[in-house]
Structure 1
Amino acid sequence: MNRYVVIDLETTGHSSTNNDKIIEVGIVIVEDDKIIGEYGTFLNPNKAIPSFISNLTGIMDEDVKDAPSFLEKADEIVALFENSYLIAHNVPFDLGFLNAELIKNNKSPLKNPVIDTVELARILYPQAPSYKLSQLAEYTDIQHADPHRALSDAYVTASLFLNLKQKLASLPFETIDHLLRLEKKLKSDLYELLFTRREALAFSVEEQPDITSYKGLAFKKVKDTHVEKSNHPLSFGEYLDSIYELNGSMDNMMDHYEKRVGQREMSEEIFDAFQGKKHAMIEAETGTGKSLAYIIPAIFEAVQKKKRVVISTYTTQLQSQLLDSEIPLVKRLVSFDFKTALLKGKQHYLSLEKFQKELEDDTNDNYDITLTKAMILVWLTETENGDFEEIQLSSKGFLFNKRISAETEGVYDQNSPWSTKSFYQKARRNAQQADIIITNHALLCTDMFNDFQFIPTYQKAIIDEAHHLEETVSKHYGLKLDYTNFQYTLNNIGTTDDGNWLARIIGNHDIHIPEWNETFTLTKYEIDDLFRMLFQFVTEQNRSKKAVSDVGRIQYRFDEDKENTKDWNTIKEMATRLTFYLRDLIHLLAYTEQQLVKIDAIDKSNQDDFLMTIQTMQSFIDRIEHLFLMDDHSKHVKWIEIEAYGAKNAAFLYSEPIEVSKLLANDLFHAKESIVLTSATLTMKQSFSFIKRRLGIPEDRLLTNKIKSPFSYHDQVQLLVPNDFPDVKGNNVDDFIYSTCEAIMSLAEITQGRMLVLFTSYDMLKRSYYLLKETIDTHYMLIAQGISSGSRSRLKKNFINFNKAILLGTSSFWEGVDIPGEDLSCLMIVRLPFQPPNHPVYEAKASHLKDQGKNAFFELSLPNAVIRFKQGFGRLIRSSNDRGIVFVCDARMMKARYSKYFTESIPNVPTNFASTHELMEKAQEWF
């Protein structure tokens, strides 16, 4: 069959079962890889079109009032699909609507073979940033003239399908062969397309020079790059001149480059720290261009001294920026060669060996695993790095991804064919040869925690986004235990007869494992009982107000020596019993491995699997003992979180060190020659003292500098604080939320939307969202973190794409979200970002400070809130042309005895403290 009919529908809503109706049909016909015909019509739904649909599509009631009904056009539409594939971008939606209407009108539903371009694009464009039609059109350079109109969308879908067919025709035999085996579990009917391509390749001598294969797996051929390292005769001053001054190098190389005096100052400060073997803390305010400022001296130092420099970032977004923008720019500016490598933890990289084994066995694969396998097969023909973050894998496939990550690889000997093909080993080899290694705080901490085994030897490092270092160190020197991960690990091992790992590994060998199935089943029951008991325990603590609740979870901090209740003693007994069962499983696994070795029925890969499985089980025992059976509450904070409305065993256990300053002092600052910490937010009231204490940086080896922003904040920003908002304390939360929503609506009128509203509490965000949803004008697009679907970057894109949008965010939206220009004109901060005093981690740290005779509020709570506030404040002005209002609903900003810590920690801006009415007039006048 070589006829493809592409359909797109516009409807009055999302559900045909809720009596939503079709208002427009667009159909495009494809034969012999050409578009040969089209069909389009309005349909009268015999009901009003909702305003949000009219806003989205531009289709009004008057457009359809004289249009034919669906029944009048049904036969005409059905006839177009005769002897053809039905194609749509999200087939279940379009075909579901079409068939529902046909059935309602006593006609037979369509039963054509289908191709869903969402699914096909996910497989064939695994690195696309999004699978929405508009984003795919942009990604594949297809003109999309009239989005959300049926015929235009159908044309774009048809063009997309033809592009996808071309991509399919470029894939090697091995990839097509594997896709053909997976096809039966996919939703699209791809058999004919795949079979035709495989047959063509089977009789072809076509070679693909950039593709290699091993064990039936095709992947991109990647050469290890080697850069000759060379000295450069320039002094550091001459080197900086050549970049910043002579011939306007930077201006010529970068469009829209703004000269930044602070950038050179920062480069010089880092050079001084490196030369003097000192540590440095540099706060570089927004607009400094700090990433370029630290890369320049890092490269000079690494090449001149022939000793690598490590650059660590907190977010992958900044890593990408360094690799894709800043490093290539410097390469064009300097006259010598240098090599950069990106290195992440093993869990970030695909293991080719483990993936190849998973492809051999698909008996237990669900749809998400099948789709993940299909995407990876295509991605392997494109990727040089094997880094999972390059592709948009399904979140439901996350646990499968763990199974095929390099973390599951053992230690390869040099003769192993997989050793040369391992993406992680390749990344390690590149890092060994590199002048500059770019990594993340997580791997930096893992490296420290494991005696520096993961990152090649270094003595100098630059830590960007350094305000996150303490929290990352705490997580890495702490631990986590949760029901899902526990049960997932055991389910992967399985019984001797359920087809999972253990059953597959013993295969048909005559090996008896005494009591395995019984012990295994009892262990799973014990885990379930323990986590149910924990869930119930925290629920009880919440009833008696001993737990804290927000962000959808209830949290309870526990101390072993204080928990002498009957329930807690029962929990400890259950935990102890579980460790005995886990030890029994470890002994049985060791016994099984010995039996397989005896009969020579196990290879090195499977021996590695046994070792890793035993290590994982032992880590569960270690974590249980640390959490429940060790009395170390003076050094660690331990707490339980439960999902307020989750499953009755959805409990999460955590432990973190109360203080990391001594750990960092010993394991980082004393161990290394020079560590440079930088961020836009390190100081409170112009002082570095808080962050110095928290990180344990030795005073005698420390340089500090604060680089001012080149932006004219005085002319670009107005700070507005109302003096008449209800006090949020006591029973006034509802009144406060109501006043906040009124202010949002008033400011939205003035700024035409374009507002980012930052909350400190998810509960408050949720309540505000639903109140605004009821009252706000339909002209505004309301987007809310945790309510609107999509990742943080997806919500940000949606915000930018709508002319009049209001974005409500909490937690991660306080930093790292850049919305430059007119897309953001107003930033609202609902509450000053103090952590709740009964949050488990804060409570433990505060108690520790009190024991030392210190004031926990001024030593911990206030500095953290100020740094968080500065992060939020920094969302508004991202370039010298930006202009806007910061509206802070919290009067403590001006009235509290500590208010100056906030006002004197941000740039000097005109501040207005007045009634809400006066502030709205001021905002109107200013805009």
Structure 2
Amino acid sequence: MDKYVVIDLETTGHSPAKSDKIIEVGLVIIEDDVIVDEFSTLLNPNQPIPPFISNLTGIHDEDVAYAPTFHEQASDIAEMCKDSYLIAHNVPFDLGFINEEFAGLGMERLTNPVIDTVELARILYPQSPSFKLGQLTEYLDIHHSDPHRALSDAFVTAKLFLKMKQKINQLPFETVSHLLHLEKSLKSDLSHLLDERHHALAFSLQKRDDMDTYGGLAYKKMVDHSVTEDEIETPFGIYLDDIYETNGSMHQFMDNYEKRSGQREMSETIYDAFQSKSHALIEAETGTGKSLAYLIPAIYEAALTQKRIIISTYTTQLQSQLLEEEIPLISKLVSIPFKVALLKGKQHYISLEKFAHELASEQQENYDVILTKAMILVWLTETETGDIDEIQLPSSGYLFYKKISTDSEGIMDPHSPWFSRSFYQKARKKAQQANVVITNHALLCTDMFNDYQFLPAYEKAIVDEAHHLEETASKHYGLKLDYVTLQYSLNQIGTIEEDNFIGKLIKKYSVDENHPLLEKWNDMYGITKHETDDLFRTIFQYVYTQHKNDKSLSDIGRIQYRFDLGKENSAKWNTVVEMATRLTFFLRDLIHMLSNFKEYLEKMEHYDRFDNEDILNCMNQLQSLIDRVEKLFIMETPKTEVKWIEIEASGARNAVYLYSEPTDISDFLHEDFFAKKKSVILTSATLTMKSSFSFIQDRLGLQSENVVTMKINSPFSYENQVQLMVPNDFPDIKYGNMDDFIYSVCEAILSLAEVTKGRMLVLFTSYEMLRKSYTLLKETIDINSYMLIAQGISSGSRARLKKNFQTFDQSILLGTSSFWEGVDIPGEDLSCLMIVRLPFQPPNHPIYEAKSSYLKQKGKNAFMELSLPNAVIRFKQGFGRLIRSSSDRGIVFVCDARIIKARYGKYFIDSIPNVPITHDSTQQLIEKAEKWF
């Protein structure tokens, strides 16, 4: 059967069970890989079409008033679908609607074999940024003339399917064999497509030159891009002239390049700091082009001295940008041959050996795991890095991935045939041979606090997004433990009867369940789980009671309680400590029993070393839990550390999160990093408060005698591009007028949205305020005119919310925490940035409290030294969301009058570029905004 019918429907809603109806059908018929026929009709649903659907599809009530009903077209549709595969982009949706209609008419439901192009795309294009039809076809360069109309969607789905069919016919034999094995657990009937390919390869000697195979896996050959090491004779100044000056390479290779004096100045400062073995703090405002500005001297210095330079970023987004955009451009701009490598922690890289082992084991897996295995099989034929961040796995796929990451391998034997095929080892080797190694703050700190074992040796480093270094270092020096993680670790091991780790071992090695080594396992395991639950419930109750009279919830919507073992001395707290101590004993007993069981299995002839590694991993995990419980509840709190508990007041009665962090990381950073390295360049768009670097220097432990500081202003014309507006008639939140204040915020959002036609980003400092505003806006906003998107409420990642915001013409995006930085929305997509409150941390936040008291003990002013600088830097990050290019224009609307009225307000205003400020009634500001636009 080589007939395929591609179906796409437009409907009045998502659920046929809730009486939603089909309003348009589009069918495309494929035979012998050619589109041979099409069918399209509007249908009268005999019910009104919701405005949202009309907006999306362009189909209105009047369009379907004289259209046929489904009843009139049903037999034709059934006839066209006869003896064929049914294809749709999300088959359950389209087939569900058609079969519901057929059933209602007493006709037979369609039971044809199906192919879901969403599922197939996830398998064949695992690196696609999205699997929605529009974004997928854009990624694959398939033209889509009329999105959200049935026939057009059916046509592009047909083209997508034909492209995927071609891709299946390029897959190597090993990959197809594994996919055939997994196919029966998928939603799509792919056996005939895979069988055809398998059969063609089984009788062919043809092998792909770009593939390697080992252990039943096919994976892409890694090409070694070695670089010849030439002597560098060009002085740095001339090298810069060749890049930056009028006839330089910047002008040749960059479209519309505008010379930015700050960019060259930054390159020169970095090179001088390298030569004088100084550290440097460089604030480079938006538009400076700082990535290029630091890469140019880094590459010159590394190539000249033949000593590598480390570049560390906070976000993977910036790492990708450096590798995919900046490095290819620099290779055109500079005449020096150079090598760049990316190195991340072991948990990011897949272990081929572990994956091959998992594929070979005959375990019952859920759908997500089957899909994950299929995605990885295809991805291995394309990836050069083995870095799992390249693909988007389904949610429980990440739990499976943990079992097959390099982190789960233990210490690998260099003589093992898998060693030379290890992606992590290849990444390390590449880093060893590179002039410049790009990494992240997390690995930089892990390396720093573990005697420099993870990154190849270096003397000079550039830390971008440096305002995050203190926070990352603190987290690495601290620890975290929560109920879900602890229970998950225990559940992975399981009881003797369960089909988890211990149960699988018993079955695999046919061990008698009544064996003396195991007779007490279930009892001990059950007690440990029960004790864990009891401990976390008791902690929850303890914190809840402490906070009963204090209704203030912090920024993240959790109750937070700071504790100090030396000061907690109530009977209830002593109970918590006793329970924690008891839990460590039970966890130790489990480790002891696992150790004995391992010794017993080692005597068996067919004992598998993978199982040995897995038992050791389990024992290490349990030991890590003991260490964390002891550090949190049994060991005294050092003066330089803060411990706190967070509970979700409305969550489960064991929803408890435990933390410990240093209050001051500056001494560690000074001793473990700055004192050991010749030159560290720290850069970011937000390092200063009122042009002073003293705050960041103190927090990071940078001693001023060996530090160069420089502030590079933005080349943008802020005074012409931005208006800063502050209303003078908002209720004062200080007097408990929270609801009145939120009401005023929402009124201003609605008024400004009319002026700017949506295109608004509203930044909140608390989820609670965001939620209340969202609820109020949802009741009052014209949903036909505006798309309202809210972080934590609308589903999807930060990148997905941003994409949705840019997709709809008139949208309003409400964001908190992570939206204050790192979100680029250039051009007309964003015309108005609203900052609801100045971003001060809640004064009762445990870390802030501890850092404040630490500063007070040292005779310092905690507000001026900690609270205000943090808020100013955060404010600058928020402000920086609006203007991303020299042609952007927009309004920054700050609802918090403290920026004008409070004595410290000038610190905020003096820390951003010089812009016109208007402090007036909301009405006057709206009128001014209208005129200005």
TM range (shorter): over 0.9
Which residue is 2:170 aligned to?
A: 170
> How far 1:539 sits from its partner (Å)?
3.2
- State the AA in 2 paired with 1:812: S
Listed one character per residue, the Cα deviations across residues 346-372 of structure 1 (whole Å, up to 9, x for unaligned) are: 111111111111112252411111111
- State the AA in 1 paired with 2:140: T
Listed one character per residue, the Cα deviations across residues 456-509 of structure 1 (whole Å, up to 9, x for unaligned) are: 000100000000011101110011112222222223233445343344446326
Counterpart of 1:773 in 2: which secondary structure?
A: helix
Which residue is 2:801 aligned to?
A: 795
Note if contact 1:548-1:839 (Cα within 8 Å) is conserved in structure 2. Answer: no
Q: Which runs of 5+ in 2 are unaligned?
A: none
Q: How does 1:125-204 map to 2 (within 5 A)?
A: 125-204=125-204
Q: Do residues 628 (structure 1) and 629 (structure 2) align?
A: no
Counterpart of 1:247 in 2: which secondary structure?
A: coil
- State the AA in 2 paired with 1:817: V
- State the AA in 2 paired with 1:286: T
Listed one character per residue, the Cα deviations across residues 42-100 of structure 1 (whole Å, up to 9, x for unaligned) are: 11112221111111111111101111112222222222211112111111211122222
Note if contact 2:349-2:386 (Cα within 8 Å) is conserved in structure 1. Answer: yes
Inter-CA distance 918–408: structure 2 relative to 1 (3 Å threshold): same
> How far 1:129 sits from its partner (Å)?
0.6
Q: How does 1:801-840 map to 2 (within 5 A)?
A: 801-840=807-846
Q: Do residues 319 (structure 1) and 319 (structure 2) align?
A: yes
Inter-CA distance 399–555: structure 2 relative to 1 (3 Å threshold): farther
> How far 1:895 sits from its partner (Å)?
0.5
> How far 1:569 sits from its partner (Å)?
1.9
Counterpart of 2:822 in 1: which secondary structure?
A: coil
1:883 pairs with one of 889, 894, 900:
889
Deviates further, 31-40 or 536-545? 536-545
> How far 1:107 sits from its partner (Å)?
2.8
Q: How does 1:622-661 map to 2 (within 5 A)?
A: 622-632=627-637, 634-661=639-666
Listed one character per residue, the Cα deviations across residues 711-742 of structure 1 (whole Å, up to 9, x for unaligned) are: 11111111000000111223311111111111
> How far 1:435 sits from its partner (Å)?
0.6
Q: Do residues 895 (structure 1) and 896 (structure 2) align?
A: no
Deviates further, 836-845 or 338-347? 836-845
Which residue is 2:928 aligned to?
A: 922
Identity of matched residues, %: 66
Note if contact 1:410-1:605 (Cα within 8 Å) is conserved in structure 2. Answer: no
1:675 pairs with one of 656, 674, 680:
680
Note if contact 1:819-1:875 (Cα within 8 Å) is conserved in structure 2. Answer: yes
Q: Do residues 401 (structure 1) and 407 (structure 2) align?
A: no
> How far 1:650 sits from its partner (Å)?
2.5
Deviates further, 618-627 or 480-489? 480-489
Note if contact 2:16-2:100 (Cα within 8 Å) is conserved in structure 1. Answer: yes
- State the AA in 2 paired with 1:308: R
Q: Which runs of 5+ in 1 are unaligned?
A: none
Note if contact 1:638-1:655 (Cα within 8 Å) is conserved in structure 2. Answer: yes
Which residue is 1:520 aligned to?
A: 525
Which residue is 2:915 aligned to?
A: 909
Note if contact 1:740-1:830 (Cα within 8 Å) is conserved in structure 2. Answer: yes
> How far 1:8 sits from its partner (Å)?
1.0
- State the AA in 2 paired with 1:902: F
2-side partners of 1:118 and 1:643: how far apart?
A: 36
Structure 1 length-normalised TM: 0.98
1-side partners of 2:279 and 2:67: how far apart?
A: 74
Note if contact 2:554-2:842 (Cα within 8 Å) is conserved in structure 1. Answer: no
- State the AA in 1 paired with 2:909: T
Note if contact 1:538-1:547 (Cα within 8 Å) is conserved in structure 2. Answer: no
2-side partners of 1:735 and 1:803: how far apart?
A: 30
- State the AA in 1 paired with 2:126: P
> How far 1:597 sits from its partner (Å)?
3.1
> How far 1:108 sits from its partner (Å)?
2.8
2:624 pairs with one of 604, 619, 630:
619
2-side partners of 1:358 and 1:529: how far apart?
A: 35
Note if contact 1:559-1:633 (Cα within 8 Å) is conserved in structure 2. Answer: no
Deviates further, 723-732 or 438-447? 723-732
Deviates further, 650-659 or 428-437? 650-659
Which residue is 2:509 aligned to?
A: 508
Note if contact 1:85-1:114 (Cα within 8 Å) is conserved in structure 2. Answer: yes
1-side partners of 2:59 and 2:190: how far apart?
A: 35
2-side partners of 1:404 and 1:84: how far apart?
A: 39
Which residue is 1:412 aligned to?
A: 412
2-side partners of 1:786 and 1:623: how far apart?
A: 30
Note if contact 1:547-1:555 (Cα within 8 Å) is conserved in structure 2. Answer: no
Q: How does 1:703-782 map to 2 (within 5 A)?
A: 703-777=708-782, 778-782=784-788
Counterpart of 1:222 in 2: which secondary structure?
A: coil
> How far 1:397 sits from its partner (Å)?
1.9
Listed one character per residue, the Cα deviations across residues 840-866 of structure 1 (whole Å, up to 9, x for unaligned) are: 211111122222222211111111000
Deviates further, 15-24 or 452-461? 15-24
Listed one character per residue, the Cα deviations across residues 730-779 of structure 1 (whole Å, up to 9, x for unaligned) are: 33111111111111111111111111111111111111112112211221
1-side partners of 2:362 and 2:903: how far apart?
A: 65
Inter-CA distance 288–529: structure 2 relative to 1 (3 Å threshold): same
Note if contact 2:759-2:809 (Cα within 8 Å) is conserved in structure 1. Answer: yes
Q: How does 1:163-312 map to 2 (within 5 A)?
A: 163-245=163-245, 247-312=247-312
2-side partners of 1:9 and 1:429: how far apart?
A: 52
Deviates further, 40-49 or 810-819? 40-49
- State the AA in 2 paired with 1:508: Y
> How far 1:600 sits from its partner (Å)?
4.8
Which residue is 1:874 aligned to?
A: 880
Listed one character per residue, the Cα deviations across residues 267-297 of structure 1 (whole Å, up to 9, x for unaligned) are: 1111111111110000001110001000011
> How far 1:422 sits from its partner (Å)?
0.9
Note if contact 1:541-1:547 (Cα within 8 Å) is conserved in structure 2. Answer: no
Deviates further, 390-399 or 138-147? 390-399
1-side partners of 2:196 and 2:368: how far apart?
A: 25
Note if contact 1:481-1:654 (Cα within 8 Å) is conserved in structure 2. Answer: yes
2-side partners of 1:764 and 1:635: how far apart?
A: 33
> How far 1:246 sits from its partner (Å)?
5.8
- State the AA in 1 paired with 2:48: A
> How far 1:611 sits from its partner (Å)?
3.1
1:582 pairs with one of 569, 579, 587:
587
> How far 1:411 sits from its partner (Å)?
1.7
Which residue is 1:847 aligned to?
A: 853
1-side partners of 2:15 and 2:148: how far apart?
A: 17
Which residue is 1:100 aligned to?
A: 100
Which residue is 2:436 aligned to?
A: 436
- State the AA in 1 paired with 2:528: T
- State the AA in 2 paired with 1:895: K
2-side partners of 1:518 and 1:235: how far apart?
A: 74
| Superposition RMSD in Å | 1.6
Deviates further, 873-882 or 602-611? 602-611
Q: Do residues 567 (structure 1) and 562 (structure 2) align?
A: no
1-side partners of 2:141 and 2:362: how far apart?
A: 36
Counterpart of 1:101 in 2: which secondary structure?
A: helix
2-side partners of 1:546 and 1:65: how far apart?
A: 56
> How far 1:395 sits from its partner (Å)?
2.4
- State the AA in 1 paired with 2:710: N
Note if contact 1:309-1:435 (Cα within 8 Å) is conserved in structure 2. Answer: yes
Listed one character per residue, the Cα deviations across residues 168-204 of structure 1 (whole Å, up to 9, x for unaligned) are: 1111111111111112221112222222322222122
Counterpart of 2:248 in 1: which secondary structure?
A: helix
Deviates further, 323-332 or 220-229? 220-229
Note if contact 1:547-1:556 (Cα within 8 Å) is conserved in structure 2. Answer: no
Deviates further, 496-505 or 204-213? 496-505
Inter-CA distance 250–503: structure 2 relative to 1 (3 Å threshold): same
2-side partners of 1:558 and 1:364: how far apart?
A: 45
1:595 pairs with one of 591, 597, 600:
600
